[in-house]
């Protein structure tokens, strides 16, 4: 089944982006009605993070989220097989000078790239211009997909992909060697190396890696966001100026700053944050679990 899906994605990548975008939205709409477990997770997250929205507004937001997910699934074929020239037309790069100036000066860099739906497009666009380093998680249950994802991420330049299971030693070495680190630290990885800081007003177990890696390597942190544009208009990769006064001696405050920034960006395009992840799975001591089928509140 996975091989058939990959073949279909290969066929579809030849289509104009405007057509591919409409097909992806249609797929996402269908998934909205069929993928019940993921819908339940995303809907729970929206209830927690957007209590100010009424039920109808959250339902519409959830639908737009699944439509964006459908687009990203089909448009991934462009990352795997489209020519570099086509990808450069599709993915606009804004703020490249912020990264290039630091790389040319020999300054270590961490690109803070949260889990917005277009992040793989942004990662590919960075890789087309800079030899970088990133981490990935092996898909043990689906080795065919895992291999396809790995090869897609290694397509451009001299990229270093490190497994999360291998720890951070290789990451530190790569950052110090001058490779920008495309870093995605905003998922719930459990209690290890994490602190509870607010995300949309909800205490979220958040790894402290951004602050610690910046301290260990002397790296500057550049905020990095990829936006999926409407109507098949492509994507825009935005890299901002380096954060000042980061890291500090207060790791928890640094981690809170990271979450505050991610939240501020997510509010500008709420349908594009990765809500199907159990972001609040790990709870502070004494708090009840949030992702329980019997207590699910549909938007």
The per-residue pLDDT for range 83-111, each reduced to its tens digit, is 999 999 999 999 999 999 999 999 999 99
The answer to whether residue 224 scores a pLDDT higher than 70 is: yes
Q: Distances from the Cα of 245 to the Cαs of 63, 104, 105, 184, in angstroms? A: 39, 22, 19, 21
The answer to whether residue 295 scores a pLDDT higher than 70 is: no
Percent over 90 (pLDDT), the chain: 82
The answer to whether residue 162 scores a pLDDT higher than 70 is: yes
The confidence score (pLDDT) of residue 296 equals: 46
Please state, in angstroms and rounded to a whole number, the distance separating the CA atoms of residues 145 and 151: 10
Interval 110-158: pLDDT, tens: 999 999 999 999 999 999 999 999 988 777 788 888 888 888 888 998 8
- Tell me the average pLDDT across 187-214: 97
Q: Which of 126, 86, 23, 127 is nearest to 234 (CA)?
A: 86
The confidence score (pLDDT) of residue 144 equals: 85
The enclosing H or E element of 253 equals: helix 251-266
Band of the pLDDT at 262, cuts 50, 70, 90? very high
**Global pTM value:** 0.94
The answer to whether residue 180 scores a pLDDT higher than 90 is: yes
């Amino acid at each position: 089944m996975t091989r058939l899906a990959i073949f279909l994605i290969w066929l579809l990548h030849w289509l104009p982006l405007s057509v591919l975008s409409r097909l992806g939205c249609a797929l996402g709409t269908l998934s909205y009605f069929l993928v019940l477990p993921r819908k339940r997770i995303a809907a729970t997250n929206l209830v927690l993070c957007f209590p100010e929205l009424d039920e109808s507004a959250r339902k519409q937001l959830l639908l737009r989220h699944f439509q964006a997910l459908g687009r990203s699934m089909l448009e991934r074929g462009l990352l795997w097989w489209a020519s570099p020239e086509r990808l450069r037309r599709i993915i606009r790069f804004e703020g490249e000078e912020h990264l290039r100036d630091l790389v040319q000066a020999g300054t270590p860099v961490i690109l803070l790239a949260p889990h917005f739906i277009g992040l793989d497009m942004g990662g590919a666009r960075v890789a087309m211009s800079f030899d970088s380093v990133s981490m990935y998680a092996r898909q043990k249950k689906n080795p065919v997909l895992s291999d396809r994802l790995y090869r897609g991420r290694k397509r451009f330049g001299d990229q270093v992909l490190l497994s999360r299971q291998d720890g951070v030693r290789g990451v530190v070495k790569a950052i110090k060697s001058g490779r920008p680190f495309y870093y995605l630290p905003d998922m719930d990885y459990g209690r290890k190396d994490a602190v509870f800081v607010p995300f949309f007003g909800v205490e979220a177990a958040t790894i402290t890696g951004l602050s610690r890696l910046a301290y260990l390597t002397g790296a500057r942190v550049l905020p990095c966001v990829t936006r999926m544009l409407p109507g098949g208009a492509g994507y825009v990769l935005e890299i901002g100026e380096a954060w000042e006064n980061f890291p500090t001696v207060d790791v928890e405050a640094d981690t809170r700053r990271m979450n505050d920034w991610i939240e501020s960006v997510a509010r500008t395009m709420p349908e594009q944050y990765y809500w199907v992840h159990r972001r609040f799975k790990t709870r502070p001591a004494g708090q009840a679990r949030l992702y329980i089928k019997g207590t699910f509140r549909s938007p």
